[in-house]
């Protein structure tokens, strides 16, 4: 409970620590998730929860010390805990991204509550959805020209590194969940998948339609992981859906995977990840 003196009158405010921690935990989690999307870095659920808890604890400590305006320190604690070890320069960039999404999130939250009168929790969820959609849209616009990139596919203890091509005309989606679907050449799938993989994990059918070739169905499988790009700009796509294409995808064998734009949009810059040759 806090006492504030105002024009000779004492005003009491009731403060609920559990409610404050829960709100900060959810808010920090959303901000860290948005920052990871902006930075093209994968955060495990454990790291995300750990960073959110550290940020909420730091916010509470600053509030108890009477220094709530030093909230940037709490964000730094949350970011450092979630993203792990990094150089000073890398941490500065990650903190800048986290502060940027915080400002954008705060403005979106105020707009939603003021214009539509949404409750705080509903407005926070809606604001995070709006910012997430905006980040994905901006990334997708950056790759409208397509390009080549290295892709590493993982199935249990097996892995395969191939060359992929960003196919801006690929709009395949898994019918039930709407997840994006990339197309893997059958010969590449034979090198990655073990014998009897259909009975081991099962498969599902993806409808497709092409100009001049009519329509049909392709078998699809959910892999464990897919890493798009290499070096610092690589992005991890968990449980990607890949359809198995019949025959060669390119006439000269330039690539063996047609990347869905949504998968490619998670990457960083076009160079050195993408090239036109």
**What pLDDT does residue 1 have?**
45
Considering the domain delimited by 148-264, tell me its CATH architecture: Beta Barrel (2.40)
Region of residue 199 (left: phi > 0; alpha: psi -120 to 50; beta: else): alpha
Structural domain boundaries of the chain? 2-142, 148-264
- Six-digit token pair at 39? 């930075």
Q: How many Å apart are CA 66 and CA 62, to the nearest integer? A: 6
Closest CA to 220 of 238, 193, 195: 193
Q: How many Å apart are CA 77 and CA 71, to the nearest integer? A: 10
Q: Across-strand partners of 10?
A: 5
**What pLDDT does residue 59 have?**
87
Q: What pLDDT, in 10s, does the model give residues 47-95?
A: 889 999 999 899 888 888 888 778 788 888 998 898 887 788 888 888 8
- Has residue 124 got a pLDDT over 80? no
pTM to 2 decimals? 0.51
Q: What pLDDT, in 10s, does the model give residues 170-193?
A: 778 887 777 889 999 989 999 999
């Amino acid at each position: 409970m806090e006492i504030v003196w105002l024009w000779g009158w004492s005003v009491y405010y009731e403060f609920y620590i559990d409610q404050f921690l829960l709100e900060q935990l959810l808010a920090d989690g959303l901000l860290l998730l948005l920052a990871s999307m902006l930075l093209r870095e994968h955060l495990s659920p454990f790291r995300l929860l750990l960073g959110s808890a550290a940020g909420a604890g730091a916010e509470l400590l600053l509030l108890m010390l009477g220094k709530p305006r030093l909230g940037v320190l709490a964000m730094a604690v949350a970011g450092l805990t979630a993203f792990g070890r990094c150089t000073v320069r890398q941490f500065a960039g990650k903190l800048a991204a986290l502060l940027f999404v915080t400002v954008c999130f705060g403005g979106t939250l105020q707009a939603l509550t003021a214009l539509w009168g949404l409750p705080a929790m509903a407005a926070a969820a809606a604001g995070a959805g709006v910012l997430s959609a905006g980040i994905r849209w901006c990334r997708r616009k950056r790759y409208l020209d397509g390009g080549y990139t290295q892709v590493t596919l993982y199935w249990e203890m097996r892995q395969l590194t191939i060359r992929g091509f960003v196919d801006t005309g690929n709009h395949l989606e898994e019918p039930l969940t709407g997840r994006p679907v990339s197309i893997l050449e059958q010969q590449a799938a034979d090198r990655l998948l073990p014998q009897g993989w259909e009975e081991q994990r099962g498969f599902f059918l993806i409808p497709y339609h092409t100009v001049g070739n009519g329509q049909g169905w392709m078998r699809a499988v959910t892999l464990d992981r897919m890493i798009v790009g290499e070096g610092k700009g690589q992005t991890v796509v968990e449980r990607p859906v890949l359809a198995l294409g019949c025959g060669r995808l390119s006439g000269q064998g330039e690539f063996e995977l047609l990347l869905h734009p949504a998968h490619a949009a998670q990457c960083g810059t076009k160079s050195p990840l993408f090239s036109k040759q």
